C-alpha cells in the first residue's frame, strides 16, 4: 500500500463524512499517513485539526493513552481518524485480531501555527524569525532588524497564544547611538544714561542775602569747591562725566553733565558628544557643583551640591533600521551672584538656568533644532524736577534719562548618528603629539613641553602626514 494512490483521496472524503459526532465539527483531515509494523515515528497533529492514518496491517483494536490530548476513531480495519484536542504527547496503540501488538505511535498535539507563520511573513517580510511550539505556547527565535519589528512579532503571536509566547529573538543591526548636541547662546546688553546736576553759591550785592543750592548731587566738595559750593564730587567713576563752573558776578554756578553708554556681548558655546545603547540612559555634565547649606531640624547644617553648567540626559531607541527615537533633557545653567542672598552668615548665590525636555524622532545623520529662546528686556527711565524739567532746552539741566536693553538668544541643535565601535589605534587623542618636558627644558629653558612628536600609526599618524597650510584647527577670539 502506498501514499500516492488516487483512491485514498476518495477514502479520505468518506472518512470525513463518517466521522463520529463526538469529534469537533471544525476539525478536518490534513494528510494521509501510513502506519507500518513496529514502533513508528512521531505523529504530529495540530490542535483542533485531524489527520487520517492507514496501517499496512489490518487491526482489530485501537487505544489512545490520553483521550484528553487526542481522540481516535476507526474508519475501517486499516484507516484511523486522529483528532488533536489539547497540546501534549500521548501514545496510539494498534492490536491485531490475535491481540498482538502491531505498533505504537507517539502522537504529539501542538498549537496550529501554520496560519500564524503565513501572517508573520505577510506583516514582516524579510525578517529571519523562526516559529516553534512548546507545549501549548509559541516560541519565537531568530534575528530581527529593529525593536519595533520585534514588538510587532510578539503582538501578533499573542493573538494566537495569549500569555504563552516565549521570546528568544535578538535585534540585529546597529543599536548604538551617538548624540551630538550644540548649545549656542548669545547675550547682548546696551545701557545708556544722560543726567545733569546744577549748583549755585553766592550772595546779593549788599551781602545780606546768601544763595546756596543744587540738584542731583550730595557728595563732598572737590577740586572746584569755590564754584560748586560743596555739592559736586571731586572725582567720578563715570567715564562720560563733564564738570565745569563759572561766576556771574558774586554768584558761582557749577554744572555736572554725566553721559554713559555701556555695551557688552557674551557668547557661550558647547558641543557635547555622547554614545549610548538603544534603550539605555546616558548623562553628561560639563560644569561643576555648587555647595548649598541646608539647615536641619536638630540645628546642624548639611551641604547639598547643586550641579551647574551644560547638562544632557537622553535615552535613544532605534525604532526601525535608521529611525531613532530620542527622549532627552538638556539644560544650560550658571551661577548668578547678583540675585543671591545671605542667611545665618552664609552667602548663597542664585542660578540662571535654561532647560528643555522633549522627545523627537529622526533618521541617522539628521538634525533638529529642539529649543530656541529669544529674550528681550527693555527699560526706559526718565526723572526730572517738577516744572523746571519741562522748560525747553534749559530743562535738560534738570532732567535725567536712562535706557537699558538686554537680549539673550539660545539655540539647542541635536544630531543623531548610528555608530559602531572601532579599533583603539584608530582614535586620536589631543595629547598624542605632545611630549613631557625634561628637567633641562623645564628649569633651564622654561619650556612646559618638549616639542611635539610625529605619530606613525593610527589616526594621529594619518593626520601627521598631511600638509597643512595657513590657519587650521579651532580659533578662539
pLDDT tens-digit profile of 166-191?
898 887 767 789 998 888 888 888 88
Helix, strand, coil content of the chain in percent (nearest 5): 15, 55, 35
The predicted structure's pLDDT at residue 424: 67
Residue with cell 539628521: 366
pLDDT in tens, 21-68: 333 333 444 444 556 555 557 788 888 888 888 888 888 888 899 989
The predicted structure's pLDDT at residue 293: 83
pLDDT (average), residues 392-402 = 75
Contact 271, 181 (CB under 8 A): yes
Task: Name the residue among 101, 148, 197 with its Cα closest to residue 324.
Answer: 148
Confidence of residue 133 (pLDDT cuts 50, 70, 90): confident
The predicted structure's pLDDT at residue 315: 92
The predicted structure's pLDDT at residue 425: 66
Segment among 26-35, 114-123, 163-172, 394-403 with least mean pLDDT: 26-35
Q: Is 407 exposed, middle or buried (0-12, 13-18, 19+ CB in 10 A)?
A: middle
Residue 462 reports pLDDT greater than 50: yes
The domain locations on the chain are: 41-110, 113-171, 179-184+266-378+400-419, 424-464
Buried b (16+ CB within 10 A) or exposed e, 272-287: bebebebeeebebeeb
pLDDT (average), residues 371-400 = 78
Report the chain's mean pLDDT, rounded to a whole number. Answer: 75
- DSSP result, 419-477: E----GGG---TTTTB-PPPHIIIIIS--SS--B----SHHHHHHHTS---S--S----
- What CATH superfamily classification does 41-110 receive? E set domains; domain 4 (2.60.40.1380)
Determine which helix (DSSP H) or strand (DSSP E) holds 153, and give its type and residue range. Answer: helix 147-160
Q: Look up the CATH architecture of domain 113-171.
A: 2-Layer Sandwich (3.30)
pLDDT in tens, 288-327: 899 888 878 887 888 889 898 888 899 998 887 778 889 9
The predicted structure's pLDDT at residue 474: 52
Q: How many CA atoms lie within 13 A of 166 on its CB side?
A: 12
Residue 385 has which C-alpha cell?
Answer: 524736577
Q: How many CA atoms lie within 13 A of 156 on its CB side?
A: 20
Residue 427 reports pLDDT greater than 50: yes
The predicted structure's pLDDT at residue 327: 92
Q: Does the pTM exceed 0.95?
A: no
Phi first, then psi, for residue 252 (nearest 5°) are -100, 135
Three-state secondary structure string covering 186-216: EEEEEEEEEEEEEEEEEECCCCCCEEEEEEC
Segment among 146-155, 162-171, 349-358, 463-472 with least mean pLDDT: 463-472
pLDDT in tens, 336-376: 888 888 877 778 888 888 888 999 998 888 998 888 878 88
Phi first, then psi, for residue 462 (nearest 5°) are -65, -40
The top-scoring range by mean pLDDT among 135-139, 171-175, 447-451, 462-466 is: 135-139
Amino acid at each position: 500500500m502506498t501514499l500516492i494512490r488516487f483512491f485514498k483521496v476518495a477514502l479520505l472524503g468518506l472518512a470525513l463524512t463518517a466521522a463520529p459526532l463526538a469529534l469537533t465539527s471544525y476539525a478536518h483531515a490534513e494528510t494521509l499517513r501510513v502506519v507500518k509494523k513496529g514502533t513508528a515515528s512521531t505523529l504530529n497533529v495540530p490542535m483542533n485539526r485531524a489527520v487520517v492514518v492507514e496501517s499496512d496491517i489490518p487491526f482489530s483494536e485501537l487505544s489512545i493513552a490520553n483521550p484528553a490530548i487526542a481522540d481516535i476513531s476507526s474508519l475501517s480495519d486499516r484507516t484511523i481518524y486522529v483528532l488533536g484536542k489539547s497540546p501534549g504527547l500521548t501514545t496510539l496503540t494498534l492490536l491485531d485480531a490475535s491481540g498482538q501488538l502491531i505498533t505504537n505511535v507517539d502522537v504529539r498535539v501542538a498549537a496550529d501555527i501554520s496560519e500564524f507563520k503565513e501572517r508573520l511573513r505577510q506583516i514582516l517580510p524579510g525578517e529571519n524569525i523562526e516559529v516553534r511550539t512548546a507545549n501549548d505556547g509559541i516560541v519565537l527565535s531568530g534575528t530581527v532588524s529593529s525593536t519595533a519589528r520585534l514588538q510587532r512579532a510578539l503582538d501578533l503571536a499573542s493573538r494566537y497564544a495569549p500569555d504563552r509566547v516565549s521570546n528568544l529573538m535578538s535585534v540585529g543591526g546597529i543599536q548604538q547611538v551617538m548624540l551630538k548636541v550644540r548649545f549656542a547662546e548669545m547675550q547682548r546688553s546696551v545701557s545708556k544714561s544722560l543726567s545733569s546736576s546744577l549748583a549755585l553759591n553766592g550772595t546779593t550785592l549788599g551781602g545780606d542775602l546768601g544763595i546756596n543750592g543744587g540738584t542731583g548731587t550730595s557728595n563732598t566738595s572737590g577740586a572746584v569747591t569755590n564754584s560748586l559750593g560743596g555739592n559736586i564730587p571731586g572725582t567720578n567713576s563715570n567715564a562720560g562725566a563733564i564738570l565745569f563752573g563759572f561766576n556771574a558776578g558774586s554768584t558761582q554756578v557749577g554744572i555736572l553733565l554725566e553721559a554713559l553708554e555701556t555695551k557688552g556681548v557674551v557668547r557661550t558655546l558647547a558641543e557635547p558628544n555622547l554614545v549610548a545603547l538603544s534603550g539605555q540612559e546616558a548623562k553628561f555634565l560639563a560644569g561643576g557643583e555648587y555647595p548649598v547649606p541646608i539647615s536641619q531640624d536638630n540645628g546642624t547644617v548639611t551641604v547639598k551640591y547643586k550641579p551647574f553648567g551644560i547638562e544632557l540626559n537622553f535615552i535613544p531607541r532605534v525604532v526601525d533600521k535608521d529611525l531613532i527615537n530620542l527622549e532627552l533633557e538638556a539644560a544650560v545653567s550658571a551661577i548668578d551672584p547678583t540675585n543671591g542672598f545671605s542667611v545665618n552668615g552664609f552667602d548663597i548665590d542664585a542660578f540662571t538656568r535654561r532647560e528643555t525636555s522633549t522627545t523627537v524622532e529622526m533618521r541617522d545623520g539628521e538634525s533638529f533644532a529642539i529649543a530656541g529662546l529669544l529674550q528681550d528686556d527693555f527699560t526706559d527711565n526718565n526723572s526730572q524736577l517738577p516744572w523746571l524739567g519741562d522748560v525747553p532746552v534749559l530743562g535738560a539741566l534738570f532732567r535725567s534719562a536712562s535706557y537699558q536693553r538686554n537680549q539673550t538668544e539660545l539655540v539647542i541643535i541635536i544630531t543623531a548618528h548610528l555608530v559602531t565601535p572601532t579599533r583603539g589605534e584608530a582614535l586620536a587623542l589631543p595629547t598624542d603629539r605632545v611630549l613631557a618636558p625634561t628637567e633641562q627644558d623645564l628649569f633651564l629653558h622654561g619650556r612646559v613641553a618638549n616639542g611635539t612628536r610625529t605619530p606613525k600609526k593610527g589616526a594621529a599618524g594619518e593626520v601627521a602626514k598631511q600638509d597643512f597650510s595657513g590657519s587650521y584647527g579651532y580659533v578662539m577670539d
